[in-house]
Amino acid sequence: MYWQLLKLMYHAPATAGYHQSMWATIGRHVNPLVQRYAPFMHTPISSIQRWWLR
């Protein structure tokens, strides 16, 4: 339920800018580490991202 609330806040116009910038910052820090140390996680993470962005 918490993830649904975060997803709603990510897409809501009033809070979308803040949430999108924070998730982009997290992605810039985490994605290189995943690609370097855990490339097998790329597929599950991309599936979660597709769910999140729809």
Cβ distance 42 to 34 under 8 Å? yes
Largest CA distance in the chain: 36
CA distance 12 to 46: 22
Say how many domains are in the chain: 1
Is this structure's pTM higher than 0.95? no
Residue numbers of the domain that contains 16: 2-53
Cβ distance 26 to 20 under 8 Å? no
Show pLDDT as tens, one digit a residue, over the chain (54 residues).
Answer: 888 888 888 888 888 888 889 889 999 999 999 999 999 999 999 998 888 888
CA distance 17 to 32: 23
